[in-house]
Structure 1
Amino acid sequence: MAKRADASAGTPATVALTRAGIPFTAHAYEHDPRAAAYGLEAAEKLGLDPARVFKTLLATVDGALVVGIVPVADQLDLKALAAALGGKRADMADPALAERKTGYVVGGISPVGQKTALPTVVDETAILCETVFVSGGRRGLDLELAPDDLLAVTNGRYAPIARTRP
């Protein structure tokens, strides 16, 4: 997989992947500010199966900030996230805190290149994909990379942390 030469794709995420020597492809699309679900918008605009497009969500486990990465059509199972990290209780993080700690805006939070390295868990369904798509650090930009490379660059782990939307 080659890196796409695209100056507009220069974000902390693309810089971090390049520095780590991890192959990725940047995929830009025209973001609609009225979109209700950023991840589903990315899947639709890029013509992808939503099972390959993952959203980056911030939560707290026993008071500590963590990252959960799940398919865009699914929900983050907070109990499973807490269990995966050896904790008891998880809650979604305040969006303003998520933006401050990651350096990204909601809807464009990438799991890669965050200002503060956080414990990261990727839903185990990513293993089924040759490549996955995650936010590239701004709305309208997704990065395609191998799931094991995502784990390596985030120092993350796999666990069953997604649940199907009701």
Structure 2
Amino acid sequence: MSFESVKAHFKQWNREDDVMEFETLTATVEQAADTIGVIPARIAKTLSFRGEGEKAILIVAAGDAKIDNKKFRHTFGFKARMLTPDEVLEQTGHVIGGVCPFGLKNEMDVYLDVSMKRFETLFPACGSPNSAIELTCDELFQYSFAKGWVDVCKGWEEAGFRETVVVNNDRL
């Protein structure tokens, strides 16, 4: 049902036919990158955290980014605590491996991490462990009804630099 709720979500922009369904798994960043044929950093992963009270929040970040606990606490005012798989399903309506900020079961605050801004397009999941859609950052912001851009991740700046060095064949 989750995949269908995401397709229905994209119908309001006539983008439901752009949702891709694959024969192979896209449940992890690596699987998605292999299936789609892009570097792992271009996979937009959605992470679920306990918010204040009963409400959970979603952070969408580049595939090579990791949550920085200090930045997270400074931004949101509470410790980063991820939801359990059962809580993720209950809050989002999506199973782990297909979690995305679209077609959500409950209204949730969605934030986009700046780690994604270095790419023209990214590939978030679409409610199942074998789906994705290609979106620009602006589209991702619009379609997810994001509250804003945040800087709560680490590790991606260094990874991006290494990719540049390899691409340009430069040595420092």
Normalising by structure 2, we get a TM-score of 0.77
Match of 2:23 in 1: 30
Distance 1:80 1:24, change over 3 A: farther
- Alignment gaps of 5+ in structure 1: 1-8
* One-letter identity of the residue aligned with 1:14: K
**1:40·1:73 contact (CA, 8 Å) conserved in 2?**
no
Q: 1:20-40 deviations in whole A, cap 9, x for unaligned?
A: 4558832333335xx8x6122
Match of 1:97 in 2: 87
1:155 aligns with 2:145: yes
The answer to which of 156-165 and 138-147 deviates more is 156-165
Map 1:37-48; keep pairs closer than 5 Å: 38-48=28-38
**Distance between the aligned counterparts of 1:78 and 1:62, measured in 2?**
16
**1:52·1:126 contact (CA, 8 Å) conserved in 2?**
yes
**1:22·1:149 contact (CA, 8 Å) conserved in 2?**
no
**1:133·1:143 contact (CA, 8 Å) conserved in 2?**
yes
Query: 1:76 offset after TM fit, Å?
Result: 2.2
4+ aligned runs moved over 6 Å, structure 1: none
Q: Secondary structure at the match of 1:112?
A: coil
Query: 1:127 offset after TM fit, Å?
Result: 1.9
Distance 1:61 1:77, change over 3 A: farther
Map 1:6-155; keep pairs closer than 5 Å: 11-21=4-14, 25-32=18-25, 38-63=28-53, 64-84=55-75, 86-155=76-145
Query: 1:148 offset after TM fit, Å?
Result: 1.3
The answer to which of 19-28 and 106-115 deviates more is 19-28
- Alignment gaps of 5+ in structure 2: 157-172
* One-letter identity of the residue aligned with 1:29: F
Higher fraction of helix: 2
Q: Say which one has the larger Rg.
A: 2
**2:7·2:16 contact (CA, 8 Å) conserved in 1?**
no
CA RMSD across the alignment: 2.6
Normalising by structure 1, we get a TM-score of 0.79
Higher fraction of strand: 1
